[in-house]
Amino acid sequence: MTLLLAGDIGGTKTILRLVQFSDTVGLKTLYEESFPSGDFPDLVPIVQKFLTTANSSTPDKACFAIAGPVVENTAKLTNLSWFLDTERLSKELGIERISLINDFAAVGYGIFGLTKQDLLTLQVGKYQSAAPMGIIGAGTGLGQGFLIKQGQGYQVFPSEGGHADFAPRNQLEFELLKYILTKYDIQRVSVERVVSGLGIISIYQFLRDRKIATESPVIANAVRTWEQEAGKSEKTVDPGALIGNAALEKSDRLSEQTMQLFVEAYGAEAGNLALKLLPYGGLYIAGGIAPKILPLIQDGSFLTNFTQKGRMGSLLGEIPVHIILNQQVGLIGAALSASRL
């Protein structure tokens, strides 16, 4: 048995999980705890407190998934002053083997620790065991990555594809592009500005200002509060969640149209990634948004826009597409990655 420490490190919270691993049983969670990242000057005191509370011996290996790029075993978190270095962490924590990986790379590894109950298949497609696998996930931002077969396993590669250009496909989306360019006084619009939690709010603001439909007082108040809190590290409201719930309940026409445009853009971008990878090993929809709006993803518009690629549409119709329902896939991936150290 090997004792592993897995971590999901973000600007808002840090989740740690103590795991026992064996080739026969696989992963067995022993203890898990979440910490507010901003309350600590560094990751080291969090891990020390965690291991003390868990009454655990020093883990054999550790892997931490970081919300940001990892360069030469170091990472600077976007919304924290933490600078993480595997050599320093190993020395101060007494853990012999430590790795840092991008949080979306962790999702890639985590796919192999999921069960059938953790997935919802949107499109069965024609699975090919030797083909690449793709990952895309809208949440706070838009993550993308891919996996390539190597020997008996896969190598996971994160990417910054969410920062590629947003490609409008019709008059409404062209107007949305112009709206975002003007509103934020920027030179280009990344697809992440549309297909993400922040994108949901941008789409809502765009349709609201075009007076597509009357605003709900509750959502209108939430959006305006959010706008007034611009620049603050923590918001008191989550209008994106309210908009998504209202669309699911069909209680607000403006929210319904917002989510329709969002799902169409999400499907189109997933199709763009699929065109570049041809992931007949499966395209996995990760992130926090998809599981919360499943009926909207399943109503057909996501797959319609996914396959709406002209002459290439028939190719995309053969790609297996799955939604990851388990929101702890990153922790699972960090644990599996640690086991390989």
SS3 237: coil
Band (233; pLDDT cuts 50, 70, 90): low
Average of pLDDT values for 280-286? 97
8 carries a ligand binding annotation: yes
Residue from 68, 71, 64, 84 nearest 8 by CA: 64
Band (80; pLDDT cuts 50, 70, 90): confident
110 carries a ligand binding annotation: no
Residues facing 19 on adjacent strands: 4, 29
174, HSE (Cβ side, Cα atoms, 13 Å): 3
pTM for this prediction? 0.91
Residue 159's φ and ψ, nearest 5 degrees, are -145, 175
Checking if the pLDDT of 11 tops 80, the result is no
Q: Rounded to an integer, what distance in angstroms lies between the CA atom of residue 45 and that of residue 332? A: 23
9 carries a ligand binding annotation: yes
313 carries a ligand binding annotation: no
Checking if the pLDDT of 236 tops 90, the result is no
Look at residue 81 in the predicted model and tell me its pLDDT.
Answer: 84
CA distances from 110 to 51, 152, 155 (A): 23, 16, 12
Relative to beta strand 2-9, strand 61-66 is parallel
SS3 278: coil
Look at residue 18 in the predicted model and tell me its pLDDT.
Answer: 95
* Higher pLDDT among residues 167 and 233, named by residue: 167
